Chains A and B, each alone.
Chain A
Amino acid sequence: MVIAEDLAREQRSISVAEFFEKNKHLLGFDSPTRGIITTVKEAVDNALDACEEAEVLPDIFVGVKRVEDEVYRITVEDNGPGIVPENVPPVFGKLLYGSRFHQIRQSRGQQGIGISAAVLYAQLTTGTPARITSRTGAKTPAHRFEVMIRTETNEPEVISHEEIEWDRTHGTRIEIQFRSTLAAKKRLLDYLRLTAIVNPHARITADIDGEITVFERASDEVPPCPKPVLPHPHGIEFGALKRLAAASTGTVEEFLVGSFSRVGKKTAEEMIGLAGLKPSRKANKLDSNELKRLLEAMQAVRVPAPPAQQCLSPIGEDLICRGLEKEIHLDFIKARTRPSAVYGGHSFIVEAAIGYGGRIPPEGNARILRFANRVPLLYQQGACAITDCVSQVNWKNYGLAQQGLPVGPVLIMVHVASTNVPFTSESKDAIASIPEIEREIVLVLQELGRELKRYLSRREKKKLQDDRARAVCSIIPEIAAKVSEIVELPPVDTTPIEGKIMRKVVAKKRTVDGKVSIEVNNYTGKEVEIVIYSLSRDTAEDAVPRPDFVDSIDGEYNKVWRCTLGAGEAWRVLYTGTGEGTLDLRGVDDGMKVVVDLDV
């Protein structure tokens, strides 16, 4: 008894703010270095969401500046719709305050924790308030607030509030100072680059301690803003049902038809019948047992999938490719967007892309880029369902080596868009393993794997052809020279072999004693009209024949010749030069031409 009384004296409620003060890691603030990334991420997520809602092309500025030893000021500014002055303090100074929590649609932020957690983190490490500037339109002035959070009550505390001049007509700017390091600079830039990839309509400018990086937009189309939809009867839990029913004024039938998506009169009747209720009952008069029966009935009746077109906004195959290509140099890229699917009443769409070659490091595991609702997932790759699915696919079938993950110059991008992305934790680092989602991911990866295989085998064929071309055009002439010397006979001519083997238009460049010769042989059966491009530092002033056109860029000369070659005919040019640079041939299909640089 005594102990219980002692304990009772100490038992009291805890404010959310206090709870998160002690459990920073749950929100992604485990370390000061990660704190910077999480803060930028939360602010950028909000900015992108806001711009999307206002249907403007996002123009986002991210600044990280050192103000004193180990104290950094983080600034994120957007051109979104702005926030009305009354709402600024709670949005930034109260945890769990937000506009999207009760909406069923795809959005980056959801719970209204992220940015206020950053404000809390700043005040914990430096004691300084967050400064927010916001303006909602040209006719209204901008407001500047300094806001802190009262941790004991989780209520905002306004330190100062003034109207100011601001050159932006609408938008929001937040400045937060906290103790940190720039150790994660590369990671921060990676995060911004990945964000730019999945938001190809956004321009992001980063100024990290004076170093400016601009991620340009690849598309000028604002993606349609996902519209909120009513909850799906299969995706609802008891608490939510009870709350919705209590707020309803109509009959059970009206309640079901009016508060849920895809429930018509017939479906509602079926559910009510299955639950053993009278259709005329008022929904707000149902007791707990009746509600439980109703919930079971709602789950049991077949209902069409929720309206994914409205509430989800996939990036789309074309924009995924454009987003990736503008940030990462690739030889091959293919993207796929799957049809929408459902898990537990929540709509979701899986999209993925596979890239090969280019600047991807040729050694080591494939690079995996994970995204959820257009937000990059940077941490806990190993714990994520996406990673797991990548390992489940048998990549050896598609021409890749595999040790758990595929190995080689491969990039795999997976985006899961959903009205409710199932994260493994509140820090939103990894997607939980939900069988329906995993199935979709595996399917999309298999589709892309087949595309990759097709590309790789085409490339292999091309390599064989190149190999043959090198053998025929470069080494056989050397064999011929040596053999002729041994047998003491006149040099044997190897062009007949070339023609017989190649049956193509063959262009060769060879440099001997400071003279560059370019020779084109038409070994096909048809007349061809070709354009020859030689790009190098050589001016080729003494070229015979003269180029039809010369273009000079930065000390390099692009020499262009045009000629028409009948079947079996040859064309040749000779000029003084070093022979470096490149040779190209146009006017003939890739499959019908061979360009060999014998100087390489």
Chain B
Amino acid sequence: MSREEMDARAKERLVGIAREWYEQMRDGVVPYIRLPTRTKRNLEYDDDSEVWKYGDRESTRSAATEKSAIHLLKMAYVIGFLKQQLVENRSSTLRELYYISEGWKKAKFAAQDESNLLIEDLEIITEMQREAFHLRPEEDGASIFGPLRLRETTRRGVKEIHCQEDVGEAGYPIPNNVDNLEFIDHDAKFVIAIETGGMYARLMENGFDQDYGAILVHLKGQPARSTRRVLRRLNESLGLPVVVFTDGDPWSYRIYASVAYGSIKSAHISELLATPQAQFVGVQPSDISDYNLPADRLTEQDINALKAELTDPRFATDYWHNQIKLQLDMRLKSEQQAFASRGLDFVTKEYLPTRLSEMGVI
């Protein structure tokens, strides 16, 4: 689809919401909107796309109370603003949108979270992504280092970059709009997504990318949408297996889950963001005991998070239930970098090769 067609479709779908309200009011009906409920309980596995999406639970927001009426008023203002932006072919960031609302009186946002959520609501209703509305996130994507050559269309022209030869030690930074990226060729066997900067640098320093033909992707904690989309495209279009290497605690498992299955917040675009084939490397709770890793006691919050994961549909497998229960028994957690206790080379020479061949990746 061309850029113009894309813009026209975005505009048409946004205005469509307003048109529905117009008709409701014309018929003497209090305007309302239907949305799937965006909670863990409303996540369902979609067999076709193999990702977790919102289920059938819907909530209706009707302008019959002051609070809901103001919510609809805000949505109307945002639609008006986005329509104008599409017509004038301009773009803005989520943060800018929040500031623009300053002048909207009753429709002004109280916090940026509120405007971000509203944009996600619009993505769900229009079945389009915010990039289609010409909205950019503030966050930058993570970085890539490995035997991969790609082409990026920038505002200053088209650039070709090799992610080992043409980049510094920080790697190639993933741009916000991944649609402007094209993969040319590669010499890789798999992709390894890494949670922490320390481990990413360790693998780079130890030449893990060269020795095993690995594309290293630094997730920078909970990965941004652009990072997740790059992982999906590396998996889908280049056919490379993706593995995720994180710390051994409940929060890190959620990082893996958002890469593999999609997050609760953005389940409406799981198909675009999630990489169902992604596999979890570690740190597994069993690694903590098997390798006798230095560990910390689980906190109260850790324990609650682990228990919540036992009821999370994304973790409803025997593997995860066993690992989580094991961890709850041990009451311990370890960081990726705890492998350093057995020497700086241990993770690249022993742990990863063993674990990856066990998983059938190498």
Contacts and interface: CB of A to CB of B under 8 A. Distances in A.
Contacts of A472: 30, 63-64, 69
User: Residue among A467, A468, A476, A485 with the most chain B CB within 10 A?
Assistant: A476
User: Residue among A476, A480, A482, A500 with the most chain B CB within 10 A?
Assistant: A482
B121 to A, nearest CB: 16
B8 interface: no
A471 B64 contact: yes
B69 A480 contact: no
B282 interface: no
B207 interface: no
Contacts of A479: 21, 25, 31, 63, 69, 72-73, 76
B254 interface: no
Interface in B93-127: 106-107
B212 interface: no
Interface stretch (B77-85, B136-144, B294-302): B77-85
B65 A467 contact: yes
A486 B80 contact: yes
Interface string A449-486: 00000000000000010011011100110111011111
Interface string B44-84: 00000000000000000001111111101100110110010
A476 B22 contact: no
Contact of A487 (B18, B65, B69, B77): B18
Contact of B21 (A464, A470, A483): A483
Interface stretch (A13-21, A182-190, A288-296, A489-497): A489-497
Contacts of A244: none
A489 B22 contact: yes
Contact of B63 (A475, A489, A492): A475
B184 interface: no
Interface residues on B, range: 20 to 34
A486 B76 contact: yes
A501 interface: yes
B3 interface: no
Contact of A480 (B25, B64, B70): B25
Contacts of B65: 464, 467-468, 471
Contact of B25 (A470, A485, A492): A492
Given A482-B76, A483-B18, A486-B76, A497 B66 contact: no
B77 A468 contact: no
Contact of B22 (A471, A475, A483, A501): A483
Nearest to A466: B66
A487 B83 CA distance: 10
A60 B25 CA distance: 67
A384 B197 CA distance: 64
B356 interface: no
A494 B69 CA distance: 13
A34 B10 CA distance: 77
Interface string B10-47: 00000100110110011011110000000000000000
A344 to B, nearest CB: 54
User: Residue among B63, B68, B80 with the most chain A CB within 10 A?
Assistant: B63
A482 B25 contact: no
A501 B69 CA distance: 14
Given A482-B73, A487-B15, A475 B25 contact: no
A470 B106 CA distance: 12
B148 to A, nearest CB: 44
A482 B66 contact: no
A475 B107 CA distance: 10
B172 to A, nearest CB: 41
B296 to A, nearest CB: 37
A480 B29 CA distance: 12
Contact of A476 (B19, B30, B83): B30
A479 B106 CA distance: 11
A471 B68 CA distance: 8
Interface of B: 15, 18-19, 21-22, 25-26, 28-31, 63-70, 72-73, 76-77, 79-80, 83, 106-107
Interface of A: 464, 467-468, 470-472, 475-476, 478-480, 482-487, 489, 492-494, 496-497, 500-501
Which are the 4 A-B pairs with shortest beta-carbon distances?
Answer: A496-B28, A471-B69, A475-B69, A486-B18
14 contacts: A467-B65, A471-B64, A472-B69, A475-B66, A478-B73, A478-B107, A479-B63, A479-B73, A483-B22, A483-B25, A486-B79, A487-B19, A497-B29, A501-B30
